[in-house]
Structure 1
Amino acid sequence: MVDTFDRWFISFNKALLVLLMATMALLVFANVVARYLFGVSFGWAEEISRFAMIWIAFLGGGLALRYGQLVAVETLQATLPDRPALLLRWASITLLVAFLVALVVLGLQFVEFSWNNRTPVLQISRGIPYIAVPLGAAFALLHLALGFRQVLRGDWLALEDFDQEPTPHRPQDPADAA
């Protein structure tokens, strides 16, 4: 049942990102065409595109974690024996969880603080774009929890299979290739 939910959650996260990216691309393209062909610019399109970019960044972070695409310095971990490397990985995961929990809590407080303020063009609550921060952190926590065993072992979902059903993949160790 957890595997089924995991596959659904990854698919849902990907679908949200595709929808947001497509919306942003269409709005930016339409705005550029309208500006250069008709001399008209849609301020609302710029604001929605900016908010979509914020949502993409925060909702995409959890998927980037699952696929091992976040920036990392692995030199120290690669040089350590197995036991210390595992302890270092545990420490990294603990710090990551603490950071993500802080983002959820502080992000929700910021959303609450800004909820009654309005955006300049659309006049919607500023809390709507800002809720991407705690929601993205919650998505990342869920990705981390669902893929915890793989992340702890250094296994990642294969990026080349991003459009396929997720399967664990362990990056090849440069020492094995020699």
Structure 2
Amino acid sequence: MKFFEKYLMIANRSVLIALLAAMAIIIFSNVVLRYATNQSIEWAEEVARYMMVWLTFVGAGPVLRYGGHIAVENLQDSLPIAWARAIRVLIAVMLTGFFIFIIWYGLIYVDRVQYQMTPTTQVSMSWVYASMPVGGALLLAHWLIIVRDYVLTRTFASDSHFDANASASL
């Protein structure tokens, strides 16, 4: 399991880095061309927008894994440990269901928009909407790795790459 977990994070981070780098290069190049030559890359804004969609869905898993999403925890902080665990079990079941829902309906959307083309690049919108089931699957994979520790002790994975306090103290 640790082998899978390690390579899942390596692959997930690599895709995020590649998407962000490509977006930055495309947008920077477009801005430079616009101001230097008064011409712009026609497809730059569209491609960058769709890359941002992919970045959002692919990045949601690691953020969940390290407890980076917004959460209201006052109720479970005020309850006895057994009741707090029961609430976390309910949350875990609901999140698992939601991630499965994202995957299922994402696949339906991918199928429905397969013949719709993007305005500038004329690529099937199914490539854009595929970010939803892929992101949902990554969310589910990351969630299943951390759910036990979350339910039992409300702890998340720790990693200096995702810990703002650890990198600020360096």
TM-score by length of 1: 0.87
**Does structure 2 retain, via aligned residues, the 8 Å contact 1:144–1:151?**
no
CA–CA distance in structure 2, aligned partners of residues 6 and 158 of structure 1: 13
Q: Is 1:43 the equivalent of 2:65?
A: no
CA–CA distance in structure 1, aligned partners of residues 32 and 159 of structure 2: 34
- Distance change in 2, residues 1:72/1:159 (3 Å): farther
In structure 2, what residue type is equivalent to 1:91?
L
Partner residue of 2:124?
125
Q: Is 1:33 the equivalent of 2:32?
A: yes
Alignment root-mean-square deviation, CA = 1.2
Unpaired segments ≥5 residues, structure 2: 164-170
CA–CA distance in structure 2, aligned partners of residues 132 and 45 of structure 1: 19
Q: Is 1:135 the equivalent of 2:134?
A: yes
In structure 2, what residue type is equivalent to 1:98?
G
Partner residue of 2:99?
100
User: How many residues were matched structurally?
Assistant: 162
**Does structure 2 retain, via aligned residues, the 8 Å contact 1:118–1:126?**
yes
Partner residue of 2:168?
none
In structure 1, what residue type is equivalent to 2:136?
A
Partner residue of 1:158?
158
Partner residue of 1:7?
6
Percent identity among equivalent residues?
A: 34
CA–CA distance in structure 1, aligned partners of residues 159 and 71 of structure 2: 16
**Does structure 2 retain, via aligned residues, the 8 Å contact 1:107–1:134?**
yes
CA–CA distance in structure 2, aligned partners of residues 72 and 6 of structure 1: 24
**Does structure 1 retain, via aligned residues, the 8 Å contact 2:92–2:147?**
no
1:115 is displaced (CA, Å) by 0.5
Unpaired segments ≥5 residues, structure 1: 164-178
1:116 is displaced (CA, Å) by 0.9
TM-score by length of 2: 0.91
**Does structure 1 retain, via aligned residues, the 8 Å contact 2:50–2:128?**
yes
Cα deviation digits, residues 5-37 of structure 1 (max 9, x gap): 101101110110000000001101100111111
**Does structure 2 retain, via aligned residues, the 8 Å contact 1:34–1:40?**
yes
1:159 is displaced (CA, Å) by 5.1
CA–CA distance in structure 1, aligned partners of residues 42 and 49 of structure 2: 11
Partner residue of 1:81?
80
1:43 is displaced (CA, Å) by 2.1
**Does structure 2 retain, via aligned residues, the 8 Å contact 1:28–1:45?**
yes
CA–CA distance in structure 2, aligned partners of residues 149 and 87 of structure 1: 13
Cα deviation digits, residues 130-169 of structure 1 (max 9, x gap): 1001110110000011222222221112253439xxxxxx
Cα deviation digits, residues 95-137 of structure 1 (max 9, x gap): 1111111111111001100011110011010000110011101
CA–CA distance in structure 1, aligned partners of residues 69 and 22 of structure 2: 25
**Does structure 2 retain, via aligned residues, the 8 Å contact 1:66–1:151?**
no
1:61 is displaced (CA, Å) by 0.6
